[in-house]
Amino acid sequence: MKRSELTEFAVEEEGFKLKIRRGANGLPIVSSGRSGSNSPFPSADTAFPVATAPATPAPGAAQVLTPAAPAGDEAGIGYIKSPMVGTFYRAPSPESKSFADVGTKTVENSVVCIIEAMKIMNEIQAEVKGTVLEVLVENGQPVEYGQRLFKVKLG
């Protein structure tokens, strides 16, 4: 919200309401609820202060597992991981060339794939310098947060 300079966001669907706004101190305040008197949820006017978590990578920034990973991983090998849940795509369209194939050299800002989440196409960057050794996900396959997408020889 800070990055986009949003002060308030609200959504209402089928009787469910969610409202998020920044408080005077910049911390988010969440209000949620369901219509109806027998609801186990608090009313939409009930506000819940939300604790802030440590900074997380921006959407589209891939996470990289360094060579100091758990035993069994090879030295000098890293993995580009999914920063979100969504659908993995190797290219911007079915007719286009893949962003990254085996042998593709990457640098930190190289786009290696797209992950579609909530009908938004998010370009995923390598965040590492190296060479793609293996593509670990099939095109069009659903992926989870933290799932390995590419095996990369670092350097």
Work out the pLDDT band at 24, boundaries 50, 70, 90: low
pLDDT for res 2: 67
Angle at the Cα of 152 from the Cα atoms of 116 and 83, rounded to 5 degrees: 30
> Is the separation of the CB atoms in 81 and 146 below 8 Å?
yes
Q: Is residue 74 located within the same domain as residue 40?
A: no
Q: 3-state class of 122 per DSSP?
A: strand
Q: Is the pLDDT of residue 4 over 80?
A: no
Place of tokens 């996470």: 63
Residue 101 belongs to what domain range? 63-154
The answer to whether residue 54 sits within a structural domain is: no
CA distance 128 to 75: 15
- Quick one: CA dihedral 57, 59, 60, 64, positive or negative? positive
Q: Is residue 71 located within the same domain as residue 99?
A: yes
Q: Is residue 70 located within the same domain as residue 119?
A: yes
Q: How many other CB atoms sit within 10 Å of the CB of residue 102?
A: 11
Place of tokens 């604790």: 51
Number of domains in the chain: 2
pLDDT for res 52: 44
Q: Is residue 69 located within the same domain as residue 129?
A: yes
Angle at the Cα of 64 from the Cα atoms of 131 and 153, rounded to 5 degrees: 25
The answer to whether residue 71 sits within a structural domain is: yes
**Torsion angles phi and psi, residue 11, rounded to 5:** -140, 140
Q: Is residue 39 located within the same domain as residue 83?
A: no
The answer to whether residue 25 sits within a structural domain is: yes
The answer to whether residue 34 sits within a structural domain is: yes
Q: Which residue has the higher pLDDT, 71 or 102?
A: 102
Q: Is residue 76 located within the same domain as residue 136?
A: yes
Cα 46 → chain centroid: 29
Chain-wide mean pLDDT for the chain? 76
